[in-house]
Chains A and B, each alone.
Chain A
Amino acid sequence: MIRLQRCAECGAAQYPPREACATCLSERLVWQSADQLPARVLARTRLHHTNEPRFRAVLPLTLGLVRFELGPVAVCLLAGTVVPGDAVQVRVSTDDLLEAT
């Protein structure tokens, strides 16, 4: 399950997961589900090429860069109608990827 981390000492949120807080270096990190979190879309790409044969059947794929209101930035799948600037909700999809809708 994809999760963010919150620092128990300074409260900073981070993603991808780390071994220490990138703000204050504390190792006291607690998990927070990424599901249902509000975010904003920063950028979008339509992917037509993959390095892995297993993905060929799902191309083209629409990917985005989103920023959670909590601060961290994540690469995710974008629902078809979503464009940069949109406020979205991020959920963890059934194939354990982040998806913004």
Chain B
Amino acid sequence: MTARSYAGVALCCAVIEPYVRRSDHGAAWFLARTLRRLVEAGGVRKQDIDGLCVSSFTLLPDTAVAFTQHIGLSPRMLEWLPMGGACGVIALRRAARAVQAGDAEIVACIAGDTANETSFRELAANFSRFSREAVYPYGAGGPTASFALIADAYMRATGATRQDFGKLAVAQRANAARNPRALLRGALSLDDYLGARPIAEPLHLFDCVMPCAGADGFLVMPETRARALELPFVRILGAIERHNAFPDDPVALRGGWAMDREALWSQAGFGPRDVQVIETYDDYPFISMLHFEGLGFCPPGEAPDFVRRHEFTIEGDRPHNTGGGQLSCGQAGAAGGYLGLVEAMRQLLRQADGRQVAVARHALVGGFGMINYDRGLCSAAAVLGRA
């Protein structure tokens, strides 16, 4: 069965609560600030927001439910989406369908987390039952140890090299130099990348994101309402999600996108060549390469060649993670799952200031998250277009 289109739905008001390395505030502080930014950017009253999607790790033990009381909101549609790197695209899907069905008119989608000395360790130690039982006791390397095993298998299977990973990381840092919100803006050379200390081989320091605090958000509403509010907006041309894809793959050398890629591009009515901006969930550069393969930018196993043949900076032929991605902006917990989506909106709305891609009509946003045991379980993607 073919999914209905997302026609008539507007995506507006990309906002970011600036990232900071550490914070004494709780997650609710970042989420409340983001909601306030959305209210101001949208020109609406707080009580006009009748739908809410929330993602956060450090909000726990509270969920979206407790958060409504925390901030005094009475939505008629509420989603708690603990889906890590896929939560932005999935929030967009839930919100868009709620708007189309009339279950809500203005949906605020927000994700954010705080960060302090112990938050990352606590999150890693209790990430899931499987990881607590069968991964964490093996040296407590956290997600990087698990992704290192996949990266090792990926390099053996495809011939990918550290130079390939480094090319992506270096291009993203060059993009970040033009994004005042990125926490890591200092120049990064390929030699810097290659010479960095190992964390879990083959992954080294600049393969890893820096945990931080912050939040991102956007509004979803009917196009008619966006027009009435005089808000510029972006359209959803296609969107997919898939969970626990390909469970029989011994090592997860692919995400779940391949199961739904054809539906995505068929819904969009064009293919990867007609996309000018690519935003992937870069918890590690090789995960961006899995996006390229899974979403049809190159055949399976050929991302190393794709990386060698293209340039990924703002002025390159394949602008990618144009704000610097998580590798340079920092990973503000669940907000990492929104970062690429919010950046894609800015590019399409021509709000990307000093890093605007010259021609940006269509953008691809990927999401990937939740390494429950030996692989990321949630894959998602959306194709967005200028209205």
By the criterion CB–CB under 8 Å, are B197 and A67 in contact?
no
Tell me, rounded to whole Å, the shortest Cβ–Cβ distance linking B241 to chain A.
21
Q: Which A residues lie within 8 Å of B146 (CB)?
A: 75
User: Is residue B297 within 8 Å, beta carbon to beta carbon, of the partner chain?
Assistant: no
B140, closest chain A residue (CB): A52
Given A16-B373, A43-B149, A65-B374, also A51-B134 (CB < 8 A): no
User: Is residue B148 within 8 Å, beta carbon to beta carbon, of the partner chain?
Assistant: yes
Cβ contacts A22-52/B at 8 Å (1 or 0 each): 1000000000000000000011111111111
By the criterion CB–CB under 8 Å, are A48 and B250 in contact?
no
By the criterion CB–CB under 8 Å, are B153 and A48 in contact?
no
By the criterion CB–CB under 8 Å, are A75 and B134 in contact?
yes
Q: Which A residues lie within 8 Å of B124 (CB)?
A: 51
A50, closest chain B residue (CB): B140
Cβ contacts A53-86/B at 8 Å (1 or 0 each): 0010011010111010000011111000000100
By the criterion CB–CB under 8 Å, are B134 and A43 in contact?
no
The A/B interface has a contact count, at CB < 8 Å, of 94
Q: Which A residues lie within 8 Å of B199 (CB)?
A: 48-49
User: Is residue A17 within 8 Å, beta carbon to beta carbon, of the partner chain?
Assistant: yes
A77, closest chain B residue (CB): B138
| Partner pick for B200 among A22, A47, A74, CB 8 A cutoff | A47
User: Is residue B272 within 8 Å, beta carbon to beta carbon, of the partner chain?
Assistant: no
* Most B CB within 10 A of own CB, among A42, A48, A75, A76: A75
User: Is residue A20 within 8 Å, beta carbon to beta carbon, of the partner chain?
Assistant: no
B135, closest chain A residue (CB): A75
By the criterion CB–CB under 8 Å, are B137 and A73 in contact?
no
| Partner pick for B156 among A15, A46, A55, A84, CB 8 A cutoff | A84
Tell me, rounded to whole Å, the shortest Cβ–Cβ distance linking A63 to chain B.
6
Interface size (A, Cβ < 8 Å)? 30
User: Is residue B120 within 8 Å, beta carbon to beta carbon, of the partner chain?
Assistant: yes
Cα–Cα, bound, A17→B201 (Å): 28
User: Is residue B145 within 8 Å, beta carbon to beta carbon, of the partner chain?
Assistant: yes
By the criterion CB–CB under 8 Å, are A75 and B374 in contact?
yes
By the criterion CB–CB under 8 Å, are B134 and A61 in contact?
no
By the criterion CB–CB under 8 Å, are A76 and B138 in contact?
yes
By the criterion CB–CB under 8 Å, are A44 and B133 in contact?
no
Cα–Cα, bound, A13→B124 (Å): 27
By the criterion CB–CB under 8 Å, are A47 and B141 in contact?
yes
Cα–Cα, bound, A46→B151 (Å): 12
Cα–Cα, bound, A16→B250 (Å): 14
| Partner pick for A47 among B133, B137, B145, B156, CB 8 A cutoff | B145
For window 189-213 of B, CB contacts with A under 8 Å fall at 197-203
By the criterion CB–CB under 8 Å, are B121 and A52 in contact?
yes
Cα–Cα, bound, A17→B129 (Å): 10
Cα–Cα, bound, A14→B148 (Å): 23
Q: Which B residues lie within 8 Å of A47 (CB)?
A: 139, 141, 145, 148, 200
Binding site for B on A (CB under 8 A): 15-17, 22, 42-52, 55, 58-59, 61, 63-65, 67, 73-77, 84, 97
Question: Can you list 28 contacts pairing A with B, beta carbon distance less than 8 Å?
Answer: A16-B130, A42-B250, A43-B149, A43-B150, A43-B156, A44-B152, A45-B201, A45-B202, A46-B198, A46-B200, A47-B148, A47-B200, A48-B197, A48-B201, A50-B140, A50-B141, A51-B124, A51-B140, A52-B140, A63-B138, A63-B149, A64-B149, A65-B251, A73-B250, A74-B134, A75-B135, A75-B374, A84-B156
- Cβ-closest 4 pairs across A and B: A45-B148, A52-B140, A16-B134, A43-B153
Given contacts A43-B152, A55-B140, A63-B139, 10 further A-B contacts (CB under 8 A): A16-B130, A22-B247, A45-B148, A46-B200, A46-B201, A49-B141, A50-B139, A63-B149, A73-B250, A84-B156
